[in-house]
Amino acid sequence: MSLLRRRKQQPQREQPPAPSSSELNEESSNGSDRDEKGKGDKGKKPASSSSAPPASKDATKRTKAKWSCVDSCCWLVGCVCSAWWLLLFLYNAMPASFPQYVTEAITGPLPDPPGVKLQKEGLRVKHPVVFVPGIVTGGLELWEGHQCAEGLFRKRLWGGTFGDVYKRPLCWVEHMSLDNETGLDKPGIRVRPVTGLVAADYFVPGYFVWAVLIANLARIGYEEKTMYMAAYDWRLSFQNTEVRDQTLSRIKSNIELLVATNGGNRVVVIPHSMGVLYFLHFMKWVEAPPPMGGGGGPNWCAKHIKAVMNIGGPFLGVPKAVAGLFSSEAKDVAVARAIAPEVLDSDFLGLQTLRHLMRMTRTWDSTMSMIPKGGDTIWGDLDWSPEDGFECKAKNQKSNDSEVSKDVSGKNEVHPEPVNYGRLVSFGKDVAEAPSSEIEQIEFRDAVKGNNIAHSNTSCRDIWTEYHELGWGGIKAVADYKVYTAGSIIDLLRFVAPRMMQRGSVHFSYGIADNLDDPKYSHYKYWSNPLETKLPNAPEMEIFSMYGVGIPTERAYVYKLAPQAECYIPFQIDTSAEGGDENSCLKGGVYLANGDETVPVLSAGYMCAKGWRGKTRFNPSGSKTYVREYNHSPPSNLLEGRGTQSGAHVDIMGNFALIEDIIRIAAGATGEELGGDQVYSDIFKWSDKIKLKL
């Protein structure tokens, strides 16, 4: 028993640590020596385990210090997730006033929102307001779909969280596309616009469109009975919104109801972006006789509309629309396409992103409403454009109440690099800069398109675009013409996308009317082109053009042939084309001019600056027009969000100065009481360069 007790009391001997990999290698290399030694030591008793030397600490440290690539990735993901959840917790835990407190501590006290400021001045609700959203900003929901869309009834396919873009992308593309022949719904699919103020108050959660303006109007007493969101399916041609959904009739009825229930006060209409063209179409439709029009009579607008306050209106189109239809690109997309062509432009992982995008957007007839209008007369030709001499370097000019902006002349005069803005599409930087006499153009309009291997390629047939029928001959003919102006860009699009343009030619026109009394201009295809239609007979109706300035905006493009063109989009913006210095207007294959990042000043301002100014053939009743520009000032820090002085195309909807102007007009003020024109750009000077019969 005592022997057993003594054994229990003995402490357990420490086990030697496992040998390191280096020691194992050493052992294997010295194995033969040990074998030889072992032969001579056969008779010896082996040493006990307690006499074995312990492994060195350095070897143990070396073992623990090993760090693989997977460990690094996991560590990084863990840190990001932890930081995200911490920030999310803090955001939800902090008081609602904390961000404002921090912002005020950095920048000083914030000004009152316009609604609060004008409420203190005693302004109250008077004229009902009608909002007309632009392209892509209005929500669309599913009412009927294919089997792949099971469970999405009345769920938003456009707007909201866009969750189904990630869950079932090909199904989403199928349901967002329209019929290639009719421009209406595909069989078995019904996607309809969301209705009410929620249709376009936010594009996605946290990204406001109309929400800030609505909230400020509510401060002076506005509510849903005095506000109306004229939501429509922005994919359709304007007349087809009436054919399919009777949207134009609904807008007419709602405006009449607003006037009748608000003491006879006429409405203030606030269209944004493409909504400007849509409402221009509406004003002609509502007075035209049935069945093509709404039958309201020649005085309907005069009786029902006090003012039309157009925000960021592409009256004369946007060059951006050309790039979108030609190659599904804009400046940022072109950069991404150059950086990661295997993601956006190839069969990598079966994404084929740009081809899916082109297949979908080319069924949206509304995009053709924004092709540049007026041809070379408005946009310039090979040797001339209204913006000649524009300096891409920011100016210090400020002229709030002037009708004509003054040129800034200083001691350090900068001579801008000459830019041929009239050349909307040039194949090569050398062509964009060459004298017109040195450019040899080979006619493309009658070129034989030829055959393309895409016809027998299953992948190409699955993602059909009209480029698959263009053939190598057609692709070469387009590139050999070398340069396209606004006058030839229509023919270019008809050549590369004949089916799309055939649908579009039924609904839109891009010329300049010689005689507006010609009966042909009573057709609806001309109603959204301000150069081919008259304003309503409403001398007391005011028209405002309100837009941001001071942001480089796409005006012309340098293109090249894509490396692989048999099943790909064969043309792409040449992002390697750069100007000579940092003040150059050529950045990443795009020539930039003044604008709001989407609409150039020329398109947004010309009609109110000159085309409709006074009594002209486009404005026979002499409705007063005003140009109100808002100089862009980005937010000073992240806590300011998208800023209160932004001039960007969508962010301007939160611009305090613009909101204040709108509220004052809605409360009863006139354009003269606002101060008339507010101009920061050279819009009046550029307008004078355009030789258009008025």
In the prediction, which pLDDT does 85 show?
Answer: 84
- Alpha-carbon distances, residue 672 vs 153, 669, 688 (angstroms): 49, 8, 23
Lowest mean pLDDT segment, chosen from 35-49, 65-79, 343-357: 35-49
Q: What is the rounded CA–CA span in Å between residue 596 and residue 93?
A: 37
| Mean pLDDT to the nearest integer, 301-326 | 96
Q: Which two tokens stand for residue 610?
A: 């000159």
- Alpha-carbon distances, residue 583 vs 417, 418, 550, 551, 593 (angstroms): 9, 12, 14, 13, 12
Domains of the chain from N-terminus onward: 115-317+535-546+597-689 (3.40.50.1820)
In the prediction, which pLDDT does 99 show?
Answer: 61
161 pLDDT tier (thresholds 50, 70, 90): confident
| Mean pLDDT to the nearest integer, 433-445 | 91
pLDDT digits (tens, 9 = 90+) for 49-91: 444 455 555 555 555 556 777 777 788 888 888 888 887 787 6
Q: From the CB of residue 385, how many other CB atoms can be counted at a distance below 10 Å?
A: 28
Residues 6 or more apart whose Cβ sits within 8 Å of residue 673: 664
Q: pTM for the full model? A: 0.83
Lowest mean pLDDT segment, chosen from 8-22, 418-432, 499-513, 634-648: 8-22
Dihedral over Cα of 205, 170, 566, 471: its sign? negative
pLDDT digits (tens, 9 = 90+) for 459-481: 555 555 677 778 888 889 999 99
Active-site residue list? 273, 596, 649
Q: From the CB of residue 578, how many other CB atoms can be counted at a distance below 10 Å?
A: 14
Name residue 587's beta-bridge partners: 590
pLDDT digits (tens, 9 = 90+) for 84-121: 888 778 767 766 666 656 655 666 667 789 999 999 99
| Mean pLDDT to the nearest integer, 179-186 | 93
Residues 6 or more apart whose Cβ sits within 8 Å of residue 243: 184
Are 159 and 208 contacting, i.e. CB atoms less than 8 angstroms apart? no
Q: What is the rounded CA–CA span in Å between residue 622 and residue 550?
A: 30
Are 233 and 192 contacting, i.e. CB atoms less than 8 angstroms apart? yes
Residue at 4: amino acid letter: L
Q: What is the rounded CA–CA span in Å between residue 203 and residue 227?
A: 19
